[in-house]
């Protein structure tokens, strides 16, 4: 059902864009490329920052804004259209969801929990154990946001990388 709604919205936005361009008397020389860009913009407009990490949403939002600017310009060249399309596709592909971070956090917790204490300093080992406990708390909380899960994952990485031999 969501796919049908997405396609309907994309078609509606594309029709609106074509109507706008026609009403302004703009000439579109690169119809296939600009059409592809408008469809991609429509798909991306369906996404929400909720459920994505801030670190992945920021470049996506910038790429979407740039793509809209290119698509709305009076006579964008093929190279500019292609670049904006590629940039937006890449940013969309690089979006990190809370589900993905939760999966990565679960894997990291499992690895860190089973890591042997092979002569690490008491302080560095305790820091790792505290990071594991905090990560388990975030992982086990269904209300944890993507950013909270990501912070727990990053803290676990830092603690793991900070293990020091005695």
Provide the residue ranges of all domains of the chain, joining segments of one domain with +.
2-93, 98-161
pLDDT at 24 over 50: no
Q: How many Cβ atoms are within 10 Å of 119's Cβ, its own excluded? A: 10
pLDDT of residue 76: 85
Q: What is the CA radius of gyration of the chain?
A: 23
Confidence of residue 8 (pLDDT cuts 50, 70, 90): low
CA–CA separation, 20 and 4 (whole Å)? 24
15 pLDDT above the threshold of 70 = no
**Positions of E strands within the chain:** none
Confidence of residue 102 (pLDDT cuts 50, 70, 90): very high
Q: How many Å apart are CA 12 and CA 45, to the nearest integer?
A: 12
The per-residue DSSP string of 129-155 comes to HHHHHHHHHHHH-TT--HHHHHHHHHH
Pick the CATH number of 98-161 from 1.20.1270, 1.20.1070, 3.30.70, 1.10.287: 1.20.1270
How many Å apart are CA 46 and CA 54, to the nearest integer?
Answer: 17
* Mean pLDDT (whole number) for 103-117: 95
Instruction: Count CB-CB contacts under 10 A for residue 158.
Output: 12
d(CA 141, CA 126): 23
């Amino acid at each position: 059902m969501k796919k049908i709604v997405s396609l309907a919205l994309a078609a509606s936005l594309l029709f609106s864009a074509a109507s706008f361009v026609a009403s302004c008397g703009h000439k579109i020389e690169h119809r296939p490329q600009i059409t592809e860009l408008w469809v991609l913009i429509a798909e991306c407009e369906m996404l929400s920052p909720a459920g994505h990490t801030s670190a992945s949403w920021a470049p996506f939002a910038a790429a979407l804004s740039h793509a809209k600017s290119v698509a709305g310009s009076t006579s964008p060249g093929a190279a500019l259209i292609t670049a904006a399309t590629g940039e937006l596709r890449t940013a969309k592909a690089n979006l990190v969801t809370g589900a993905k971070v939760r999966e990565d956090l679960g894997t990291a917790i499992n690895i860190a929990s089973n890591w042997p204490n092979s002569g690490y300093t008491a302080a560095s080992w305790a820091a790792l154990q505290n990071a594991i406990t905090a990560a388990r708390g975030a992982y086990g909380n269904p209300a944890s946001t993507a950013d909270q899960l990501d912070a727990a994952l990053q803290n676990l990485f830092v603690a793991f990388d900070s293990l020091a031999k005695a």
